[in-house]
């Protein structure tokens, strides 16, 4: 198709008329579709339904003989730590704390500890650092941004490229001693699905930061969430804990992962992995905070998924369900939008999102049009700090939850709204 | 038996010789017994073993039709809120947040929110209040004390009487604007097993505090943990949320409860109950902290224990197991110690502990002697702020976990050590 940008006014008006006709057709359908959230679909969840069924029959003893039903073993079952260490590729399982379902909770609590007590290498608690700042690769995960915004950090956007954050910019920004940390979703960034390159990871591990207590928050949320079984089509990132250690910055990173999109979104287990100093410092305070996380759930998980091979087999089943949804979404985008210059997108190999860049200045209009037609998308701007996408361009599409039939209709509506908004924009200038 | 205090030196020496003979007998037994922690016994835990067995068969839908396996319903399932409201006697279930297993975690997080953000009625965040103080009824729960100690509060001990904290003292102390809160285990205090009277509760609710953001932390840990089925032998406390509301201090209290000693110590559910303002303020931040607590576990709990009657029936089964252990402990104490003036204790009607007051200046010696004989007790002083019992007298005895046979031996050892330490003390002065 010819680029909208190259069309004459007459051609654009012709396009507009055609697109408005399609909008009228959609309107008549009284649609009610939802593409807002990266939720697993019911048939993905059902794969784990029997995780608890045989617990009682098989008994509640962990590998070390401890009774998972009772108090004790506060930092998590050793076999669960071992599994998470394998998942994230950590050199050992010694410095891993096992949390409850929400890894976000571990991240929030980690920031809160630093706010009140500082890190082990902090000149002072973070709550006392005037003008504290946090680096936010954009587009990114709104709930990450909200954590540091709530804790009074100024959120500094950093452009994200296909191989990770723009490191020239990052290396400059961390020369400011009030820059205390940085969010990262290194494998299948949310929402673009980019994968940090080894070089980017190495630069993050070795860069010189003015703040001695600068921390990377490494949310390894999707490290086993591949859409394709061929290894060549799978994102792979290095072990950041090892890289930081090798670079002489062993305390630079807190790494997080969870089973939220492996078993149950609401009832998983999570981990906080660190170097020895960060771990000891964190666990000393966590030991005051809690008697420990749900160990029966840990046991159920590690019985259901006892090792990395079992995990890979389980994730392949997720991929069987997710891949057609991603491919259908991408097919429709391609069919409707290729050549129009009305939008661009990256084809992700994993994760939960497809990130679409509409013609600058049109994302809000696109979402509004979709909503009017009964199709809900994440609000425009949600993927930027303070909900403010300066280009008004990025839209996060979440194809995991709806059925193929719903996706078919919803993404068509979306693409038409993208085009119509682009045409209207071009006609208005 | 004649009081040690009234004995002559000769009589005391005679006692000493007899007691030392018994100690030698114990030594020969090579005991290894543990009375340190308020842990449920395995047969108590087994009562809940099948809590998860039929989850898959019965499906994962909550009463509102939501899928508990997926994201959403972040503050907890309405049917679980309703049950907790009944348990604590709250007027409604609107302002209850459901947490994971550790209610301590909810308490710690509540303090941390106040530290960083302040309360909704705070002049400033608590971390900025110089010389901040916290009232600690003594003896009390060491993990409570540790939370406020860690957050930089000076811990102010308040004598606990059979009807609750000494309110004349409390009312004086809260005239200090740097006194920001107070720990409470109102029903079956830990470790004494006292029950706050209605009058004490009303005074706590209505007293004038200098700090506008003063908070009672109301850890209703044992409100259904009675040892006897007769209502006349059950502790009962009024609804503190209602009392505070009625007294015109609706934001004064955060109330906590959990199922840790109902189902599984390591895998329960918990609640934070508040008035509307505190609740809204807390949940706004909790909504940034977490995607929510484990809802599948909530569902399993409320299916297993659907209402207050079912809970009472379940707790009666716990009592069947616990009551003989408490009674055996008390019987031995009575048999060995009555009349000696070497120790005193309260006979609790519920909870998890028996609190023994040895002759002042002997608690550490008693524990050391017991340890030498292979019988572990909670370290002396643990029930006081900073681990410092000024009288060196209080010892927390936890009879829940060991078998009757072990209790029989351990408490006998304990009583002999209490007597020997008293005799030695009296001989030394």
> A146–B55: do the CB atoms touch at under 8 Å?
no
From chain B, the residues in CB contact with A265 under 8 A are 69-71, 291
Q: Which of B43, B70, B126, B287 to mutate to test the interface with A (most CBs of A within 10 A)?
A: B70
Cis peptide before A139 (omega within 30 of 0): yes
The pTM for the full model equals 0.97
CA B377 centroid distance within chain: 17
Please identify which residue in the block is written with the tokens 């509301």.
B245
For every residue of B132-198, DSSP letters joined together read -EEEEEES--HHHHHHHHHTTPEEEEEEEETTEE-HHHHHHHTTSTTEEEEEE--BS-TTT--B--H
pLDDT at B266 over 90: yes
Q: Nearest-CA neighbor of A241 among A272, A287, A196?
A: A272
Residue in B146, B265, B297 closest to A69 by CB:
B265
Share of chain B above pLDDT 90, in %: 99
Confidence (pLDDT) at B429: 84
Residue in B116, B127, B296 closest to A264 by CB:
B296
> B266–A68: do the CB atoms touch at under 8 Å?
yes
Distance CA A239, CA A198 (A): 9
- For the stretch B4-11, contacts whose Cβ atoms lie closer than 8 Å and that sit 24 or more positions apart, written own/partner, are B4/B340, B4/B341, B4/B342, B4/B359, B4/B419, B4/B422, B4/B423, B4/B426, B5/B341, B5/B426, B6/B341, B7/B426, B9/B427
Averaged pLDDT, A148-156: 98
> A53–B50: do the CB atoms touch at under 8 Å?
no
Place B105 in a pLDDT band, splitting at 50, 70 and 90: very high
> A266–B68: do the CB atoms touch at under 8 Å?
yes
Residue in B70, B100, B116 closest to A45 by CB:
B70
From chain A, the residues in CB contact with B266 under 8 A are 68-72, 291-292, 294-296
Which of B288 and B1 is assigned the larger pLDDT? Answer: B288
> B104–A289: do the CB atoms touch at under 8 Å?
yes
From chain B, the residues in CB contact with A285 under 8 A are 150
Confidence (pLDDT) at A37: 85
pLDDT at A17 over 90: yes
CATH topology of domain A4-44+313-428: 3.90.1150
- For residue range B312-343, list pLDDT tens digits in order: 999 999 999 999 999 999 999 999 999 999 99
Which CATH class for the B61-306 domain? alpha beta
The two structure tokens encoding residue B156? 């102010």
From chain B, the residues in CB contact with A112 under 8 A are 112, 116
Domain residue spans in chain B?
4-44+313-428, 61-306
Nearest CA in chain A to B265: A70
From chain A, the residues in CB contact with B58 under 8 A are none
Distance CA A349, CA B37 (A): 50
Residue in B53, B72, B290 closest to A53 by CB:
B53
Nearest CA in chain B to A76: B266
From chain A, the residues in CB contact with B45 under 8 A are 60, 67, 69-70
User: What Å distances lie between residue B75 and A42, A392, B96, B287, B288, CA to CA?
Assistant: 21, 33, 8, 8, 12
Shortest distance between the Cα of B290 and any Cα of chain A, in A, equals: 5
How large is the ipTM?
Answer: 0.97
- For residue range A169-207, list pLDDT tens digits in order: 999 999 999 999 999 999 999 999 999 999 999 999 999
- For residue range A42-87, list pLDDT tens digits in order: 999 999 999 999 999 999 999 999 999 999 999 999 999 999 999 9
- For residue range B134-189, list pLDDT tens digits in order: 999 999 999 999 999 999 999 999 999 999 999 999 999 999 999 999 999 999 99
């Amino acid at each position: 198709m010819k680029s909208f940008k190259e069309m004459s006014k007459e051609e654009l008006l012709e396009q507009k008329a055609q697109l408005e006709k399609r909008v009228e057709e959609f309107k008549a359908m009284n649609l009610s579709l939802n593409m807002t959230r990266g939720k697993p679909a019911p048939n993905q969840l059902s794969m784990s339904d029997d995780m608890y069924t045989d617990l009682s029959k098989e008994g509640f003893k962990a590998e070390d003989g401890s009774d998972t039903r009772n108090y004790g073993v506060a930092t998590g079952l050793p076999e669960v730590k071992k599994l998470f260490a394998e998942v994230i590729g950590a050199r050992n399982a010694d410095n891993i704390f096992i949390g409850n379902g929400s890894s976000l909770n571990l991240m929030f609590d980690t920031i809160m500890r630093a706010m009140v007590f500082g890190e082990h290498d902090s000149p002072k608690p973070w709550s006392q650092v005037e003008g504290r700042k946090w680096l936010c690769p954009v587009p990114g995960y709104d709930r990450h941004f909200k954590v540091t915004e709530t804790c009074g950090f100024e959120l500094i956007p950093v452009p994200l490229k296909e191989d990770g954050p723009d490191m020239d910019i990052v290396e400059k920004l961390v020369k400011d001693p009030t820059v205390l940390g940085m969010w990262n979703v290194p494998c299948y960034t949310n929402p673009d699905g980019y994968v940090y390159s080894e070089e980017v990871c190495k630069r993050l591990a070795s860069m010189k930061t003015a703040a001695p207590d600068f921390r990377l928050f490494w949310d390894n949320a999707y490290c086993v969430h591949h859409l394709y079984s061929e290894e060549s089509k799978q994102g792979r990132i290095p072990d950041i804990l090892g890289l930081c250690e090798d670079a002489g910055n062993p305390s630079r990173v807190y790494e997080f992962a969870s089973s939220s999109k492996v078993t149950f979104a609401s009832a998983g287990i999570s981990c906080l992995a660190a170097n020895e100093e960060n771990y000891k410092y964190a666990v000393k305070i966590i030991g005051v905070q809690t008697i420990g996380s749900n160990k029966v759930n840990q046991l159920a998980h590690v019985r259901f998924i006892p090792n990395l091979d079992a995990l890979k087999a389980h994730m392949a089943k997720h991929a069987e369900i997710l891949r057609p949804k991603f491919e259908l979404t991408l097919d429709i985008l391609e069919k409707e939008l290729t050549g129009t210059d009305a939008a661009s997108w990256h084809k992700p190999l994993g994760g939960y999102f497809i990130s679409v860049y509409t013609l600058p200045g049109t994302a809000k209009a696109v979402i509004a049009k979709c909503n009017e037609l009964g199709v809900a998308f994440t609000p425009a701007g949600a993927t930027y700090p303070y909900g403010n996408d300066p280009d008004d361009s990025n839209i996060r599409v979440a194809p995991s939850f709806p059925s193929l039939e719903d996706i078919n209709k919803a993404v068509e509506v979306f693409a038409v709204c993208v085009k119509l908004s682009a045409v209207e924009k071009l006609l208005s200038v």
